[in-house]
Amino acid sequence: MDMLTASEAADLLRLDVRRVQVLARTGKLPGVRVGRKWLFQRAEIDRLMGRATPAPRHEAVEMLSARNHLRGRVVSIHTDGLMAEIVVRIGDQELVAVITRSSAERLQLAVGDEVAAVMKATEVMIAKGAEA
């Protein structure tokens, strides 16, 4: 289950975070209060916005502590020495990840592969699987 903070839900809904909290408090936006924070199910926000629920993530990606996963397609790979630059197209944007060459080889990354870019703090990781 993919949970969103009030700030993340506000970004998706294109609302001010305070408005999201008011909607949750009044029961107009389904959420759950944990301590002083509101949490929202991404699938419920997507449903309210008329979006299809995303396909389940690959099990290996689900096991990461990072919560920010962006699905995309590899558009280019450039390797040089120990490093590999992976360019992933996510919607109409491109994200560049620099990972070790051995990681790119272990994942058997190729142009056209569907992958998930996984962000945590200042790092971007690449995951690949049947349903990345």
**Residuewise pLDDT in 10s, the chain (132 residues):** 588 899 998 888 888 999 999 999 998 888 888 888 899 888 888 887 776 555 444 444 555 555 677 888 999 999 999 999 999 998 888 999 999 998 999 899 999 999 988 876 666 677 887 665
Give the three-class secondary structure for 96.
strand
C-alpha neighbours within 13 Å on the C-beta side of residue 34: 8
pLDDT at 44: 83
What phi, psi does 85 have (nearest 5°)?
-100, 120
DSSP 14: T
Q: What's the predicted TM-score (pTM) here?
A: 0.47
| Rounded-to-integer distance, Cα 48 and Cα 91, Å | 21
Could you tell me which residues are beta bridge partners of residue 88? 74, 95
pLDDT at 46: 80
DSSP 55: P
DSSP 132: -
pLDDT at 58: 47
Give the three-class secondary structure for 19.
helix
